[in-house]
Amino acid sequence: MPAPLLPTPSTPQSLQQRFGQFFGPQTLLSNLTMGNGATITWTDGTNTTTIGPKGITLPTAASVAVSGAAWTNVGAGGGAPAFLNGWTNIGGAYAVVSYRKDALGWVHLKGLTVAVTNGATNIFILPAGFRPALREVFSVVQTDAGQTTQQFGRLDVLATGDVLSVTTATGAWCSLASITFLAEG
């Protein structure tokens, strides 16, 4: 049986050492309590954070501000990337093609797009700061040209920012949901 990630410590000091290995050199304020009321509380000297049975309690909104968390809609104008090669949102009740970067530097894509060209074509280009360091390859859900059969396809995100559909046929839709990668730098 493998050892638990955070073994039960014999003293609060050993818990502090173990906890600090995963979350940095914070000062532990309370010991881990097992059972229905399990909590861990720590501070970085300024802010206090508690993880408990009802989730994470953070000190203030200012200490958890998420830079760039808003979604940018592709093809919306105003500096947003444009669709390329005739690609467009499928529309209706479906999510528009969008991207964002979270506070940890992970870029997330979403939306449903439809192809008007066959084969490997760029859908749009991500701006600098939202690109992977190297080419990333993803398996995506798409349809055949008649939109009657769902199948797996391939979508690549290049270090140049190109979001490239490798396998989508003319008239098929392609889902960008669940595409996530670490941004360069």
Assess whether 60 and 83 both reside in one domain.
no
Cβ 84 vs Cβ 121: under 8 Å: yes
In contact, 109 and 99? CB cutoff 8 Å:
yes
Range of the domain at 111: 72-182
Q: Is 90 exceeded by the pLDDT of residue 29? A: no
Burial class (CB in 10 A: 0-12, 13-18, 19+), 163: buried
Higher pLDDT, 28 or 85: 85
- For the chain, give the mean pLDDT: 76
Domain check: are 108 and 165 in the same one? yes
Domain count of the chain? 2
Q: Is residue 142 part of a domain?
A: yes
Residues 38 and 105 grouped into a single domain: no
- Which residue has 């501000």 as its token pair? 65
Contact in structure between 178 and 154 (CB atoms under 8 Å): no
Q: Are residues 132 and 92 in the same domain?
A: yes
Judge if 150 and 166 occupy the same domain: yes
Which one has a higher pLDDT value, 21 or 178? 178
Which residues is 89 bridged to in the sheet? 113
Q: Does 2 reside within a domain?
A: no
Percent with pLDDT over 70 in the chain: 62
At residue 117, the pLDDT reads: 75
- Residues 77, 126, single domain; the answer is yes
Instruction: Say whether both 141 and 57 belong to one domain.
Output: no
Read out DSSP for 105-158? SEEEEE-EEE-SS-SSEEEEEPPTTSS-SS-EEEEEEEE-TTS-SEEEEEEEE-
The reply to whether 107 and 146 lie within a common domain is: yes
CATH number for the domain that contains residue 139? 2.60.40.1830
Task: Please list, residue by residue across 103-118, b when 16 or more beta carbons sit within 10 angstroms of its beta carbon and e when fewer do.
Answer: eeeebbbbbbbbbebe
| Rounded Cα distance, 47 and 134, in Å | 36
Give domain status of residue 134, yes or no. yes
Using the structure block, give the residue that is written with the tokens 């861990």: 40
DSSP character at residue 37: T
3-class secondary structure, 185: coil
Same domain, 86 and 164: yes
Q: Same structural domain for residues 79 and 134?
A: yes
Establish if 89 belongs to a structural domain: yes
Give the domain-ending residue among 41, 64, 87. Answer: 64
pLDDT band (50, 70, 90) for residue 50: low
pLDDT above 50: residue 11: no
